[in-house]
Amino acid sequence: MASKLKLKDKAKRLERRRLKTRQAMKGSQERPRLVVFRSNGAIYAQIIDDTKGFTIVAADSRKIAEKGAKSELSKKTGMAIAQEAQKKGISSVIFDRNGYLYHGRVKALAEGAREGGLKF
């Protein structure tokens, strides 16, 4: 019973962080928002234009042919989304970590995106 309550509290804390960070940032056509979603097995990234409300570019670690540690795949995913963004003419984004702490796989994705040429 105590573990169920702990999980609910953890989910509430994540949702609170997600909403708090989301209030301050809005993606535009000139500077869209790079959103990160992290699951147990994969990491996903999207570049979203909030004024029009659609996804411009998306990438995830499942589509990378190479195998390796999750943090390595996250970095490669960041580089992949940066390359796709460069093809669409996007060089600067707002980084939305989506309530996750800037640590581990989220940090690796951000570093990979920076190495790929995105500025944030």
Task: Give the model confidence (pLDDT) of 3-34 as tens digits.
Answer: 555 657 888 888 888 887 777 777 767 789 99
- Closest residue by Cα to residue 59 from 116, 1, 2, 119: 116
Q: Are 103 and 72 in contact (CB under 8 A)?
A: no
- Taking only the tens place, the pLDDT of each residue in 51-82 is 888 999 999 999 988 888 999 999 999 999 99
Domain spans in the chain, listed from the N-terminal domain onward: 2-116
Q: Would you state the CATH architecture of domain 2-116?
A: 2-Layer Sandwich (3.30)
Would the pLDDT of 99 be above 80? yes
Helix-strand-coil split of the chain, %, nearest 5: 45, 20, 30
Q: Strands 43-49 and 54-60, how do they pair?
A: antiparallel
